[in-house]
Amino acid sequence: MSSNAERRKTPRLRKEKRRAGNAFVYFLLALLGFLWILPIFYLLYTALRVRPSTGIINRLFPDGLRLGTDNFSRLFRETAFPLWLKNTLVVSVCSCAISTLFILMVSYALSRMRFRLRKPIMNVLLVLGMFPGFMSMIAVYFILKAMNLTDSLTALVLVYSGSAALSYYICKGFFDTIPRAMEEAALLDGANRLTVFFRVTLPLCRPVAVYTVVTTFIAPWCDFIFVNTIVHDSEKYTVALGLYRMINQDKSSFNDNFTVFCAGATVVGAIIVALFMSMQRYYVEGVTGGSVKG
Amino acid sequence: MNNRNRKNAENAPSEKRKTSAATKISFVLPGAGQMMRGQIVKGALYLLTTAAFVLYLSAFGGRYLMHLFSGHLGTKTAGEVWNDKLGIYEKVAGDNSFLILLYSVATVVVVAAFVVLWAMNVKGNFALDKLIAAGGKPPSFSEDVKTLFDEKLYVPLLLPPFIGLLVFTVMPLVFMTLIAFTDYDANHMPPGKLFGWVGLDNFRAMFSFSGGNGGFAAVFLRVLAWTFVWAFFATFTNYFFGLLLAMAINKKGIKGKKFWRTLFVVVIAVPQFVTLLLMQKILDNNGILNVLLGKEIHWLTDKSRFALLPRLSIILVNVWIGVPYTLLMCSGILMNIPEESYEAARIDGASPAQIFFKVTMPYMLHVTAPYLITQFVGNINNFNVIWLLTGGGPADNVYYGSASAQSTDLLVTWLYRLTTDQNPRYNIASVIGVVIFVVCAVLSLIAYNRSGAVKNEEEYQ
């Protein structure tokens, strides 16, 4: 009896409870959202500030609130930023193409084909990926030097895409989830494996291909350690190294350059946002499909 | 070779097969056996490669191969030598231990590659013997190529990426590991000075507590402990907060899901080094946060209580950076949890907390186990966060002495500092690298091979 009464009561009670709960969740989301967006806002604000005489980093409003595109025009006229931008674009397009191709090739071979050394190869790749990359940086530098390649964009492309095979894991996970039926049908129809790879499998794995393109494209925009070792000629800087050097070269240049640095960071951020926006739908699909499964 | 042919060969009556002359010759002259049996192009390719290899050894590689057995890495120091004929001091290049070691490693790799090729050649010849004994015809070159792009497609698919790996990962890795067994440091910098093998001395120095030249063990244990504490907290704070946030956004009746998700995910768009440098400026002793608070709190440089405050700050900043990634990943998976399991739990009268710990968590942990392992290992090697926020600091001579380590150093940042110091100690840095490698490799091998993702690889196919 009592349980019957309870059951009748629950819908209303539950609704009220949920409403109270939702109010709390909204409050929490708003608070956290504020905390998360604040530094980004600070970045934009600093980028848009007209340079005051002092107190760039330790005053919020040194000479009152004055905004303008001062820093952006300084960034494009007085620094080598346009050149860095071009370098980064060249490097990231090339390394992205090579890396994506490599990753897809390795993933396909390890997911779809069965051969004697498959398991050992997977374990070896896993273990190799554990080695901190920049520990071998000095050796990489000398290998490039032996090839007469240091201080060139080619060297950067090679460094960013040379070890691409190590990041096959997510992509292979995605390949594993694609049913084989279609490929087998094509094979029965007499197509060879290469044709199947290009015509059947690749179109099916567009989400993860896009994910791979995005991640490999972004890498050169964010790395400054490898560039720092391999490139010494400021003509060959990438955006990341240029910006990093801008405020880390010496302490005195810091106050001068901080607003310009923020302007540069904003430009890079905008480029990456644009990339994400155009690829977002595939991106989420690609990650959740590949990296994780029971 | 063709599948059908191979099958014929296996089914042939097992008469006693004799190794043919062609195969015997191919032991010494790779490719000859193939050519003698009509596989002209294939054989020619083997022969050409062999010729190139011999040329390489005689012109360049041989010298370095010999070096490996000489027990030292060069004897001639660069300097000036009196030249009697010309009556002047002449600059002499001398040996460069670094390059000698590098080229030796490269040569070993080339030799190994050739041995593999040679083995393939011999194996191919035995297969040909079998095939001919069974009355088959050796496949032509075009047939071989066709197989290569069909049943053996994995060979051309894997080869180019693996060459990249060999040059840019394996070779440097072997090279840097070997450095751990030398005395390559500020006092032995080529080309001015040479370095040589010292056996296990560096490992002894790293793992002994005694003073003097060695005695890194105390510092090493401190850094190792912090590395693990950091990796644990960095991984799990990100995971929990990201999961909770994803659940909050996914909650029934919450409007503007897309807006909230975008709000947090936007953070990812700004490159990590930018946000980290920005955070460092915000948390600076004279930074905007202290100005707003009206106090001087040393967020990143307080040494007291084992640098507790900087450590907490780092973990918090890392939450800010990492949670959006977890959110991005978790929100998709959360939607996949079958609604029935929630319904069942609710009917059984489970509280929201119980539902979270008994339904949501187990499911998420099961599904995201590989991700968590990757994150944990990634955090052990998380160079950027530490380096850009505190640079490993604050420095603390009481606990870290002269070992170049600082309070918030992870193994990787310590390694980096050792190689970029005023007095670099590449040998000790390499020892640390080997330790990191072993720790991470063991962790991930165990975890991956136990996780469902590997075991049930073909579950979905």
pLDDT (0 to 100) of residue A25: 85
Given a cut of 60, whether residue B212 has pLDDT beyond it is no
Closest CA to B321 of B397, B394, B379, B259: B379
Distance from CA of A94 to the nearest CA of B (A): 15
Other CB atoms within 10 A of residue A209 CB = 20
Sign of CA dihedral A176, A182, A186, A189: positive
Let me know: does B329 contact A288? Beta carbons within 8 Å: yes
Closest CA to A200 of A279, A138, A112: A112
Kindly report the average pLDDT of chain B as a whole number: 81
Cα–Cα distance for residue pair A269/A264, rounded to 1 Å: 9
pLDDT (0 to 100) of residue A93: 94
**Do residue B161 and residue A193 have CB atoms under 8 angstroms apart?**
no
**Do residue A121 and residue B158 have CB atoms under 8 angstroms apart?**
yes
pLDDT (0 to 100) of residue B305: 76
**Do residue A113 and residue B154 have CB atoms under 8 angstroms apart?**
yes
More confident residue, B74 or B255: B255
* Residues of A with Cβ-Cβ distance to B107 under 8 angstroms: none
pLDDT (0 to 100) of residue B227: 93
Nearest residue of chain B to residue A14 (CA atoms): B346
In one letter, which amino acid is B437?
F
**Do residue A35 and residue B320 have CB atoms under 8 angstroms apart?**
yes
Closest CA to A217 of B383, B271, B159: B271
* Residues of B with Cβ-Cβ distance to A29 under 8 angstroms: 248-249, 254, 260
| A 14-53 residues inside an 8 A Cβ radius of B | 18-19, 21-22, 25-26, 28-29, 32-33, 35-37, 39-40, 42-43
User: Quick one: chain B helix, strand, coil %, rounded to 5?
Assistant: 70, 5, 30
| pTM metric for this prediction | 0.80
Per-residue pLDDT tens digits for A221-241: 888 888 888 888 888 899 988
Averaged pLDDT, B95-122: 87
* Residues of A with Cβ-Cβ distance to B410 under 8 angstroms: none
Let me know: does B30 contact B47? Beta carbons within 8 Å: yes
Cα–Cα distance for residue pair B223/B421, rounded to 1 Å: 18
Given a cut of 70, whether residue A195 has pLDDT beyond it is yes
User: Quick one: chain A helix, strand, coil %, rounded to 5?
Assistant: 80, 0, 20
* Residues of A with Cβ-Cβ distance to B368 under 8 angstroms: 292
Partners of residue B89 on adjacent β-strands: B82
Kindly report the average pLDDT of chain A as a whole number: 80
> How is residue B16 annotated by DSSP?
P
Distance from CA of A139 to the nearest CA of B (A): 5
pLDDT (0 to 100) of residue A53: 52
pLDDT (0 to 100) of residue A104: 92
Cα–Cα distance for residue pair B354/B363, rounded to 1 Å: 14
Cα–Cα distance for residue pair A81/A267, rounded to 1 Å: 10
Let me know: does A22 contact B251? Beta carbons within 8 Å: yes
User: Which region among A13-17, A277-281, B99-103, B457-461 has the lowest average model confidence (pLDDT)?
Assistant: B457-461
Q: Which residue has the tokens 């075991």?
A: B455
Closest CA to B377 of B330, B410, B415: B410
Tokens of A18: 């949920």
A187 lies within 8 A of chain B by CB? no
> How is residue A79 annotated by DSSP?
S
**Do residue A222 and residue B167 have CB atoms under 8 angstroms apart?**
no
Let me know: does B376 contact B231? Beta carbons within 8 Å: yes
Range B116-129 burial, b when 16+ CB lie within 10 A, else e = ebbeebeebbebbb
Closest CA to A98 of A172, A156, A177, A173: A156
* Residues of B with Cβ-Cβ distance to A138 under 8 angstroms: 176, 419, 426
Given a cut of 70, whether residue B79 has pLDDT beyond it is no
pLDDT (0 to 100) of residue B272: 85
Nearest residue of chain A to residue B369 (CA atoms): A292
Angle at A179 between CA B370 and CA B342, to 5 degrees: 55
Other CB atoms within 10 A of residue A12 CB = 9
> Ranked by mean pLDDT, which of A9-18, A90-99, B11-20, B322-331 comes out on top?
A90-99
Let me know: does B221 contact B208? Beta carbons within 8 Å: no
pLDDT (0 to 100) of residue A132: 67
Partners of residue B182 on adjacent β-strands: B197
Closest CA to A266 of B134, B50, B274, B206: B274
A121 lies within 8 A of chain B by CB? yes
Let me know: does A67 contact A258? Beta carbons within 8 Å: no
* Residues of A with Cβ-Cβ distance to B274 under 8 angstroms: 43, 243, 265, 268-269
Give the β-pairing of B88-92 and B79-83: antiparallel
Per-residue pLDDT tens digits for B46-63: 999 999 999 988 888 888
Per-residue pLDDT tens digits for A27-80: 888 999 898 888 888 888 888 877 655 555 556 665 566 677 778 888 888 888
A115 lies within 8 A of chain B by CB? yes
- Which among B270, B381, B449 has CB closest to A265? B270
**Do residue B102 and residue A284 have CB atoms under 8 angstroms apart?**
no
**Do residue A164 and residue B456 have CB atoms under 8 angstroms apart?**
no
**Do residue B154 and residue A294 have CB atoms under 8 angstroms apart?**
no
**Do residue B149 and residue A26 have CB atoms under 8 angstroms apart?**
no
- Which among B151, B167, B290 has CB closest to A143? B167
Backbone angles phi, psi at B341, to 5 degrees: -65, -35
User: Which region among B123-132, B239-248, B376-385, B449-458 has the lowest average model confidence (pLDDT)?
Assistant: B449-458
**Do residue A176 and residue B254 have CB atoms under 8 angstroms apart?**
no
- Which among A35, A130, A178 has CB closest to B437? A130
Residue A84: band (very low, low, confident or very high) from pLDDT cuts 50, 70, 90: very high
* Residues of A with Cβ-Cβ distance to B444 under 8 angstroms: 126-127, 130
> Ranked by mean pLDDT, which of A98-107, B263-272, B351-360 comes out on top?
A98-107
**Do residue B329 and residue A258 have CB atoms under 8 angstroms apart?**
no
Angle at A39 between CA A33 and CA A44, to 5 degrees: 110
**Do residue B426 and residue A59 have CB atoms under 8 angstroms apart?**
no
Tell which of A131, A176, A230, A283 to mutate to test the B interface (max B CBs under 10 Å). A131
Given a cut of 50, whether residue B11 has pLDDT beyond it is no
- Which among B175, B429, B444 has CB closest to A139? B175
Distance from CA of A86 to the nearest CA of B (A): 18
Write the DSSP string, B338-407: -HHHHHHHHHTT--HHHHIIIIIHHHHHHHHHHHHHHHHHHHHT-HHHHHHHTTT----HHHHTTSS--T
A147 lies within 8 A of chain B by CB? no
pLDDT (0 to 100) of residue A55: 53
**Do residue A136 and residue B172 have CB atoms under 8 angstroms apart?**
yes
CA separation, residue A224 to residues A244, A254, B274 (Å): 7, 18, 11
- Which among A42, A106, A140 has CB closest to B168? A140
Given a cut of 90, whether residue B162 has pLDDT beyond it is yes
> How is residue A136 annotated by DSSP?
G
Cα–Cα distance for residue pair A20/B388, rounded to 1 Å: 42
What ipTM was assigned to the predicted interfaces of this complex?
A: 0.79
Per-residue pLDDT tens digits for A99-135: 999 999 999 899 888 888 888 898 888 888 777 676 7
